[in-house]
Amino acid sequence: MNTSLLKLRQLLDHRYGKGFELRPLMDMSKLNQSYETVVSGNDLYIPIIVKDQFLGAGVIPHGWELSEEKRKDVASLVRMVLEPRLYIEFLDRQESNLKGPRSQNDNTETMLTLVNTDQKVFTTSLLHLNGTQQQLLRKVALQIHDFSARWAFVPFDDVKNDIHTVMDICGLGGMTLYVQNIESLPAAYQKLLAEYTSSPRSLEEPLILTSSTIPLNELGQYIVSPGLLNDIITVHLEVDRAPLNSSIMREVVELVLNRDETQDLH
């Protein structure tokens, strides 16, 4: 079982005493094409929709018993885990359709990447993604999240108001924090991220993925924290030149996150 799904089921059972089922394909009429949760029979259905694209639904058996507040909390938790996983599968299918039929080996490689549960210990807690296309940067961020044994993918903007100290970041647990357009991040948060990445971190603490479309040699005009700028220059991936084949990308990212020597990744 995928690590993120296992973690999700554990949390739902521990916090709410409920199980969980993932249904990638289902009758949309049951959801009335709505982003809102729907109770049908005894079950609670949570549609997963990204950029107006229906990707599937999470189902909580006997979810009708939950209060309205708990339904919202459960839906938020389920989407936090499922949206990145299902969206990257959707993008892969789109690319496959554009490129034509894939070989059986290519399909197998993608599937192995999506379900792999190896627990790697990453010695680097920040990786910067640089490129010219926001969508491609996000896709690569989702790929890295998917095989880095982190259980949830969360935009930094969604949690920044609750983050004031390094301990606040640590308390988020083993998730991926995605900082889009790092050059726009306020100075206080830049310094906080630099402080967080200055010490070794475990899989029980967040992995920080930052991104920018600004050339690396110009980021110094926007990054006021020398420590953060050094992290970005030391550990970055030039996405436009990176291998997007899933198995190769996995090897490349594992190399940079576990490496002992400082070098950029092309």
Q: Where are the domains of the chain?
A: 3-101, 118-258
Angle of helix 134-146 versus helix 68-99 axis, rounded to 10: 110
Whether 173 has a pLDDT exceeding 80, the answer reads yes
Q: What is the pLDDT of residue 95?
A: 65
> Under 8 Å CB-to-CB from 224, ≥6 apart: which residues?
187, 190, 191
Please state the rounded mean pLDDT for residues 83-92. Answer: 73
CA pair distance 81, 12, nearest whole angstrom: 12
| Degrees to nearest 5, angle at CA 108 with 103 and 109 | 100
Q: What is the pLDDT of residue 30?
A: 57
Please state the rounded mean pLDDT for residues 61-77. Answer: 87
Residue 142 DSSP SS3: helix
Structure tokens that stand for 265 in this block: 């990744």
Whether 266 has a pLDDT exceeding 70, the answer reads no
**DSSP class of 213:** S
**pLDDT over 70, % of the chain:** 72
Whether 248 has a pLDDT exceeding 70, the answer reads no
Q: Residue 112: pLDDT band by 50, 70, 90 thresholds? A: very low
Superfamily of domain 3-101: GAF domain (3.30.450.40)
Q: What is the pLDDT of residue 33?
A: 52
> Under 8 Å CB-to-CB from 205, ≥6 apart: which residues?
125, 169, 170, 172, 173, 174
Lowest-confidence range among 55-59, 92-96, 157-161, 252-256? Answer: 252-256
CA pair distance 223, 218, nearest whole angstrom: 9
Please state the rounded mean pLDDT for residues 111-140. Answer: 65
Q: What is the pLDDT of residue 40?
A: 82
Can you give the pTM of this predicted structure? 0.61
Count CA within 13 A, CB hemisphere, residue 82. 24
Q: What is the pLDDT of residue 121?
A: 45
Q: Which fold has domain 118-258?
A: Rossmann fold (3.40.50)
Q: Residue 37: pLDDT band by 50, 70, 90 thresholds? A: confident
**pLDDT over 90, % of the chain:** 23
